[in-house]
Chains A and B, each alone.
Chain A
């Protein structure tokens, strides 16, 4: 397919759009143009203003300045329905659909097909939904309740929804973040189909391989400002990264000479009725053990079970050679196992509470006497660990929710280090945080290991797994598919075991 000529007019153009929140200028006079039949990648670090822009385009936020034009006509989107009426639709990071409604209802909610007396024509909706689903190759029964579908199917419903309003502009906000390899490829094919239908696509992604694979154009934002735009074919990955961070960053992992000590954790025969089975491994002091696998391979589920959140039906945990029963996170912390969850907002930090209270929450027994809080000791402990992690914040009594994603992650890690654990489990520790914080987390992980802590790192990013781990366990469909170390640790072997592809 030949790229369209540069003279072609954009469907949608943003001109000097600004958005100000109390104290923050989220977007400052940014430009963006989307062309029919082309995929434009929107690139930027976290906090660059991408999600704010999506919310403006979908009528959730109103811009404080600038102009939006559709086909050269100035428009405004006071509500989400106005954006939809102009043919703009978004498929969000987390699926924003309704679990208790049927697939057909999800597709047509907000623009229902009306029949007699202005009532919803459910039969026609069902038929149309089936047609649209079929057209994108999704064989899903329109009467199924959404709750019963997997994440990939939910994405297909979201895309069908976009198609049902005859969208001309489709915004995809990190659509592949939660998908498996196979599902990602199916999504790429779908994007090609949408392109062929002449839709303008805004594709937001952190994955550069993906951007270079499917995008025609790029637009770069940094700190709420427009940096550059152009054709993907005329730029290299390094240049794009440079524009995005304002400096050139090679993804460098800290060099370590692991000093691996005696065995600290031994897991034998962990089984769960539906999530995982036959999990056996050991972990030594000073070691970083990577857990690789496709999303949904059961890694987080197993880790949460090890941490005492869910009960396995069988399994023995030995810590320093002693059998330890862990029935709750509280017992896990006592035993010296801590867990930095993937879902920071819900499971990691208690966002409305101040930083210092978050840090000391599991260590309160150390900063108190007979159950009574010693505020000075609390602040001292919080200060010690937040400084070690180079936290950036206005004050220690700032609510954690006011911090950036990277700094929130630092608070969660500080919280666990303050308990002086033996084993720290980090679940996707750098997911969704900016490159600067990412490097800081990597450096810190290396430092922890060198101090003798045993580290388990769950990650879906191959460079991170290979760059950080001394040993890698690959999980597939709830079981350990392989344990790799030394020269066996190559991208190919990881992918092969994760996907269950036979030896080439």
Chain B
């Protein structure tokens, strides 16, 4: 109180200093450690084709995770993403039975994704309902429609060039999906961190009422986020359907939890207000590496999920335990 200094500096810490102490750095260290551990544990790990294969473990989930990250930062959530994949994939499968072009299939997939996102947006932003409940509802509804259409059947017979999205390679071992993942990561990174829209997302997540009173169009921003999440689920549906070459109503079952796990692991506060796209990118690699490494060691998928679950709780719990222990 006694300071008479009038000048207020912009910052006390340089952005670099902040970065070093950040969650992302910790996570990056974890990723590197897992990478090194894996390369010792299995001789097959450090193989370009194997590593490239491993990226499929996370690229589709990560595409959705970027949009989900923005949604969670803004204080909302969408648990219906995996069901949007199912519905979009079912729509594409149904269309494929009429020998439509690959471009049309892709547009149908993206369109259904957008439409599902719009439906969530109307319920949450238009009617003011809580997103967690709404999207638990639409999660059942969207996949339920797939079940009504398909029952215990499956759609096959996608055109042969449709396989490119999920199985094609752009350059040497670099898959189309990986390129798409990287591109989407950059776009979302710019959107969240460099634009007015991104700033509004943070403002809404920290205090939605305050943001509204500051002239932010809260409902419009949130609606766009639901649309983006729907659209990304549509993109993921195209990739996943193309990779699997068939559609069953159970496609992508439970993927919403892995997406949310990825987002939270990436340092996004589940309660909204903070988080970053680089964090989510690193989290995607961590999850992919763990899954891949354990796969090489012949650990079954279900056991890997124990590691993912433990990772999710562990990365949040350990810093807090450490702090408690220091006190």
Contacts and interface: CB of A to CB of B under 8 A. Distances in A.
B2 to A, nearest CB: 11
B10 A341 contact: no
Given A395-B9, A395-B11, A350 B214 contact: yes
B8 A341 contact: no
B1 interface: yes
B8 A330 contact: no
A353 interface: yes
B209 interface: yes
A306 B217 CA distance: 17
A362 B88 CA distance: 38
B196 A368 contact: yes
B207 interface: yes
Interface residues of B, number: 29
B309 interface: no
A361 B195 contact: no
A250 B37 CA distance: 72
B242 to A, nearest CB: 33
B210 A309 contact: no
Contacts of B10: 356, 379, 383, 395-397
B194 interface: yes
Contacts of A346: 207, 209-210
Interface string A259-298: 0000000000000000000000000000000000000000
B203 interface: yes
B214 A361 contact: yes
Contact of B211 (A334, A341, A361): A361
Contact of A309 (B197, B199, B212, B217): B212
A329 to B, nearest CB: 5
A111 to B, nearest CB: 31
B211 A350 contact: yes
B142 interface: no
A391 interface: yes
B296 interface: no
Given A353-B203, A361-B214, A394 B12 contact: yes
Interface centre among B1, B8, B9, B12 (most CB of A within 10 A): B8
Nearest to A361: B214
A383 B207 contact: no
Given A350-B203, A373-B196, A223 B1 contact: yes
A383 B216 contact: no
B210 A364 contact: no
Interface string B1-42: 100001011111000000000000000000000000000000
Contacts of A356: 10
A368 B211 CA distance: 18
Contacts of A339: 213
A348 B8 contact: no
A383 B9 CA distance: 9
B195 A371 contact: yes
A351 B10 CA distance: 17
Nearest to B274: A352
B124 to A, nearest CB: 18
B52 interface: no
A394 B194 contact: no
A347 interface: yes
Interface string B192-233: 001111111011001101111111110000000000000000
B273 interface: yes
B8 A350 contact: no
B213 A386 contact: no
Contacts of A394: 8-9, 12
A364 B202 CA distance: 14
A347 B213 contact: yes
A442 to B, nearest CB: 21
Contacts of B273: 352
A387 B7 CA distance: 8
Nearest to B18: A397
A361 to B, nearest CB: 5
A309 B203 CA distance: 17
Nearest to A393: B8
Contacts of A372: 194-196
B195 A415 contact: no
B213 A341 contact: yes
A334 B216 CA distance: 11
A457 to B, nearest CB: 18
Contacts of A393: 8
Contact of A362 (B195, B197, B215): B215
A329 B210 contact: no
Contacts of B11: 395-397
A81 interface: no
Interface string B77-102: 00000000000000000000000000
B150 to A, nearest CB: 42
Nearest to A346: B209
A352 B274 CA distance: 10
Interface in A363-400: 364-365, 368, 371-373, 379, 383, 386-387, 391, 393-398
A397 B15 CA distance: 11
A349 interface: yes
B212 A329 contact: yes
A357 B199 contact: yes
Given A352-B273, A371-B195, A372-B195, A330 B216 contact: yes
22 contacts: A223-B1, A328-B217, A329-B215, A329-B216, A332-B215, A341-B213, A347-B209, A347-B210, A348-B213, A350-B207, A351-B207, A353-B202, A357-B199, A361-B199, A361-B216, A371-B197, A372-B195, A379-B10, A393-B8, A395-B8, A395-B12, A398-B12
Interface of A: 223, 307, 309, 328-330, 332-334, 339, 341, 346-353, 356-358, 361-362, 364-365, 368, 371-373, 379, 383, 386-387, 391, 393-398, 415, 419
Given A350-B207, A351-B207, A373-B199, 6 more contacts: A328-B217, A356-B10, A357-B199, A364-B200, A383-B10, A386-B8
Top 9 closest A-B pairs, CB basis?
A333-B215, A362-B215, A364-B196, A347-B213, A350-B210, A350-B207, A395-B12, A330-B215, A361-B214
